[in-house]
């Protein structure tokens, strides 16, 4: 497994490094710990670095920045190596989110780990712009670390039977989680809301029977889905419990997390592509933005950025 850990000099990065160390990383895991020296690019791909490189003072300033960046990487790299993981450092220049996404693609990362703002941070930006862009555009799975974590004891896994949620389940099973982790599986039923419009017949009794039949069929499917997923985790030796929720999925997952108090929430990356993510949003996006816990967003590798995504990413800071 190849992992990219993106850090800066904020406390969020320490949370990310701790969360990564708390995972039971597979043997032969390769971790690249990277940081980005922020560099604004002006029209015509002109940067301040290009101008500084033409003067002695500018060159010295650049070298000082790079030394500071390299020093920043020493602690997380040494900690990973001490735990038996192969780790190397990487310093880049440019727009942070852009460089993280680019490097993740170049090294073929299966997972990107990055710190995200937590419960005590300003509510207007619950994620932070860099973490948000990486979450939205990276081709790999993304772990957004919020709380300081020394061990992974409880994991809340949300599934809806889609290929996206199956991807996050597969990722967790391949990771694997620490041996004594407790897994909570949840799925949310919400079909009666659109059914009120789509199945409306103007006959109260018929409408109510349609809704009852639909809810029962959905409940049976939800339980079957949870049983199938539960079996997969139990075969790996985990203690597993499950719960069928009723309501808007993201809201129900967030509410359940407050009761279960997990070390990690795992969701699929459904709906995080192109203009759909901006206009419609997604369960994963809402959970990641507003959860006070660390969130793993599972994503199949090899997804190409759409033209719309490329425009959005290029305009971000």
Across the chain, mean pLDDT equals 81
Domain hosting residue 159, numbered range: 2-315
| Residue-wise pLDDT tens digits, 186-203 | 998 865 555 555 555 567
Q: How many CB atoms lie within 10 A of CB 84?
A: 9
Give the SS3 label for residue 246: strand
Closest CA to 80 of 146, 169, 7, 130: 7
Most trustworthy range by pLDDT among 142-151, 182-191, 252-261, 305-314? 252-261
**Whole-angstrom Cα distance, residue 184 to residue 132?**
26
pTM higher than 0.75, yes or no? yes
- Cβ burial of 247 (10 Å; 0-12, 13-18, 19+) is middle
Please count the CA atoms within 13 angstroms of the CA of 248 that sit on its side-chain side: 10
**Torsion from C-alpha of 106, 19, 288, 13, nearest 10 degrees:** -70
CATH code at 42?
3.40.50.12370
**Whole-angstrom Cα distance, residue 317 to residue 24?**
34
Pairing assessment for the beta strands 264-268 and 111-115 based on DSSP bridges: unpaired
Give the SS3 label for residue 151: coil
Q: What is the DSSP letter of 147?
A: S
Helices 129-137 and 307-315, axial angle in degrees (round to 10): 170
| Residue-wise pLDDT tens digits, 207-247 | 777 777 877 887 888 899 999 999 999 999 999 999 999 88
Q: Please give the pLDDT value at position 310.
A: 40
Residue 84 falls in which region: left (phi positive, over 0), alpha (psi -120 to 50) or beta: left
79-to-18, 20, 127, 311 alpha-carbon distances in Å = 9, 11, 26, 38
Closest CA to 241 of 249, 232, 250, 230: 230
Domain count, the chain: 1
């Amino acid at each position: 497994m190849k992992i990219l850990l993106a850090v800066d000099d904020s406390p969020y990065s320490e949370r990310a490094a701790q969360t990564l160390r708390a995972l039971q990383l597979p043997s032969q895991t390769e971790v690249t710990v990277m940081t980005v020296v922020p560099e604004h690019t002006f029209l015509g791909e002109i940067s301040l670095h290009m101008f500084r490189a033409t003067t002695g003072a500018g060159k010295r300033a650049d070298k000082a920045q790079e030394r500071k960046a390299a020093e920043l990487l020493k602690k997380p790299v040494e900690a990973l190596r001490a735990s038996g993981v192969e780790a190397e450092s990487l310093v880049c220049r440019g727009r942070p989110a852009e460089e993280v996404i680019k490097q993740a693609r170049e090294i073929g990362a299966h997972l990107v780990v990055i710190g995200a703002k937590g419960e005590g941070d300003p509510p207007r930006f619950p994620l932070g712009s860099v973490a948000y862009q990486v979450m939205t555009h990276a081709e790999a799975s993304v772990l957004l670390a919020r709380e300081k974590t020394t061990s992974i004891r409880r994991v809340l896994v949300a599934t809806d039977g889609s290929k996206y949620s199956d991807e996050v389940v597969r990722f967790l099973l391949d990771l694997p989680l620490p041996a004594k982790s407790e897994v909570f599986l949840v799925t949310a039923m919400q079909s009666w809301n659109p059914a009120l419009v789509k199945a409306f017949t103007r006959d109260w009794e018929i409408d109510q029977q349609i809704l009852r039949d639909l809810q029962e069929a959905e409940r049976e499917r939800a339980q079957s889905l949870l049983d199938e997923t539960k079996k997969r985790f139990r075969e790996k030796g985990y203690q597993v419990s499950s719960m069928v929720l009723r309501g808007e999925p993201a809201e129900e997952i967030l509410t359940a997390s407050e009761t279960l108090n997990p070390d990690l929430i795992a969701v699929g990356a459904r709906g995080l592509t192109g203009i759909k993510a901006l206009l419609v949003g997604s369960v994963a996006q809402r959970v990641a933005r507003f959860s006070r816990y660390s969130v793993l967003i599972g994503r199949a590798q090899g997804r190409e950025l759409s033209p719309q995504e490329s425009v959005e990413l290029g305009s971000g800071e």
